[in-house]
Chain A
């Protein structure tokens, strides 16, 4: 599904990602752990194609196609989607209007999907204006439900969300990632960023990676990695010279 090779990324004049290699197969959900400021969001924004993030070396292959130079909407059209940690507030733009624009008249039942994540009362509200942490995430999930991407990046889906909402959001993401299907029948893939790991109680993941200082330092079983970090913090990761 996603294949990243030797990726180097600059923001402004500064290189913030160094030599990233990542491979996510169809049907797999990976988790990317790492302390604040380690470059996790930068990696997601780069994969999505945001213009602030300049790829200086390496490439991104998506479904076998080189998308390194594509704009965000071209990547979205090919099946990428993203749940933003802090999406912008767009004054005057109603959530319902965005959903209609995303659906491109594909015939999704917007009111029903909105009800499923308790956002039916928000369709006439300006997107993210005065939304609570949980409402922002539910609005993001709702947009993804309509967009229905094949590969979903989730940037800290649990941040600012209370317990009740985490379980709702986890369940919705699970259905987006076809977690209800048998493992060999799953076709959707995901990449989840978390620094607390709470979301992993609600979402099964297949493989974990740890990012520090703009590099992916290690790979492994997500629960083991998380347990390690819970016990020892990121200190060891920061000191780790292994690459």
Chain B
């Protein structure tokens, strides 16, 4: 049995916030854990055979070859965030390696907890070697009482090798005074599958991210799914990009966005560079209170034989749907929440049950609070 996560300084409220982000402190349904509180690595362990969870520092000491994966799909010169992280004398973050042929049914959890006023920085490298299958849940959260606020700078580099699969489910539970700048990219080789899921039901001051998957291998697949709610003070600039290079590669970018008064910019970009590639982009937005949902879907095909499509829709809750449920005995609030819950219900192909349930549970908590 893996040992329980010890986070002695955490209050009950903060433990609850971790649980809402998918972090299982009891480690019952997880096969490994990484826990970083502010800049301190508290825990890094993996019980799954063939898999390793290491701090960035330890991993770099242990494996000389990791240099080949360091700042390779994300450029350290990309912007101020990457430059800031690259300039750190003591880089933090985790390295997760699924060695050749390994697989986990119970996911590895990575928890990044921001407790004090500051910038938390991490640099993560995730590698799924040939024929491996790696599932990760990443819970990012801040303490309920982070004084003046803070920021999280997170670099994540994913490498999906031949016939390998990574699913990465990130659940954010930040606060109204936290700014978040993930910078992540992935490279997917032949027959590789990369699933990236993002759920944010809680207020945040600002999130800005635009993860990119380069599908370099033949028949490689990427699916990005984002389920987000913007509170009145939230500014969420989100996007995902897939570059279809390998013959027969395909990508699907799906977003469900709800604003309760905040701003959501939902970007998406699929580039079809090779014949036999397919890509689809879908953004559905619901405006519950005046705010903004700005969908910017881009599809860019440059060869004969690439098939790309997109659909984007922004609307309101339909009165006839609400009243239909009211005629079955649900009051207006119950009917509204039931319809919103349905709107957010995205079933992700290829995701293990445990992770789909975790995503559902996170949305259920928001539903119980009346969204």
Contacts and interface: CB of A to CB of B under 8 A. Distances in A.
Interface of A: 48-52, 71-73, 75-77, 80-82, 84, 87-88, 90-94, 97-98, 101-102, 104, 126, 143, 147
Interface string B319-334: 1110111111111101
Sorted from nearest, which 4 A-B pairs have the closest CB atoms?
A: A93-B342, A92-B342, A76-B329, A72-B326
Given A52-B319, A88-B320, 17 more contacts: A49-B326, A72-B326, A73-B330, A73-B331, A77-B329, A81-B327, A82-B327, A84-B324, A88-B318, A88-B324, A90-B342, A91-B343, A92-B346, A93-B338, A93-B341, A98-B338, A147-B328
B330 A102 contact: yes
24 contacts: A51-B323, A52-B319, A71-B332, A72-B323, A73-B326, A73-B329, A73-B331, A73-B335, A76-B326, A80-B327, A81-B328, A88-B318, A88-B321, A88-B324, A90-B321, A92-B343, A92-B346, A93-B339, A93-B341, A93-B342, A94-B342, A97-B341, A97-B342, A102-B330
A160 to B, nearest CB: 18
On chain B, which size bracket covers the interface? 20 to 34
B334 A101 contact: yes
B258 to A, nearest CB: 12
A41 B81 CA distance: 61
B341 A102 contact: no
B166 interface: no
A104 B329 contact: yes
B344 to A, nearest CB: 7
Contact of A143 (B328, B341, B342): B328
Interface string B172-210: 000000000000000000000000000000000000000
A126 B324 CA distance: 15
A242 to B, nearest CB: 33
B327 A73 contact: yes
A81 B324 CA distance: 11
Interface of B: 284, 318-321, 323-332, 334-335, 338-339, 341-346
The main secondary structure of chain B at its interface with chain A is helix
Contacts of B346: 92
A99 to B, nearest CB: 9
B329 A147 contact: yes
B326 to A, nearest CB: 4
A200 B331 CA distance: 34
A94 B324 CA distance: 14
A48 B319 CA distance: 15
B344 A92 contact: yes
Contacts of A147: 328-329
Contacts of A104: 329
Contacts of B341: 92-93, 97
Contacts of A51: 319, 323
A72 B341 CA distance: 21
Nearest to B344: A92
A79 to B, nearest CB: 10
Which has the most chain A C-beta neighbours within 10 Å: B284, B318, B328, B334? B328
Which has the most chain A C-beta neighbours within 10 Å: B329, B341, B346? B329
A97 to B, nearest CB: 7
Contacts of A71: 326, 331-332
Given A73-B329, A102-B329, A50 B338 contact: no
A76 B338 contact: no
B324 A76 contact: no
Contacts of B339: 90, 93
Nearest to A99: B328
Contacts of B344: 92
Given A72-B326, A82-B327, A88-B318, A97 B332 contact: no
Contacts of A94: 342, 345
Nearest to B346: A92
A50 B332 CA distance: 12
A75 B339 CA distance: 21
Nearest to A153: B327
A101 B323 contact: no
B324 A87 contact: yes
A90 to B, nearest CB: 5
Nearest to A79: B329
Given A73-B332, A92-B343, A92-B344, A101 B327 contact: no
A81 to B, nearest CB: 8
A93 to B, nearest CB: 3
A150 to B, nearest CB: 12
B328 A76 contact: yes
Nearest to B337: A101
A104 to B, nearest CB: 7
Contacts of A77: 329
B342 A91 contact: yes
Given A91-B342, A92-B343, A98 B328 contact: yes
Contacts of B331: 71, 73
Contacts of A92: 341-346
Nearest to B313: A91
Which has the most chain A C-beta neighbours within 10 Å: B327, B330, B342, B346? B327
B325 A101 contact: yes
A177 to B, nearest CB: 18
Contacts of B318: 88
A73 B333 CA distance: 11
B60 to A, nearest CB: 44
A50 to B, nearest CB: 5
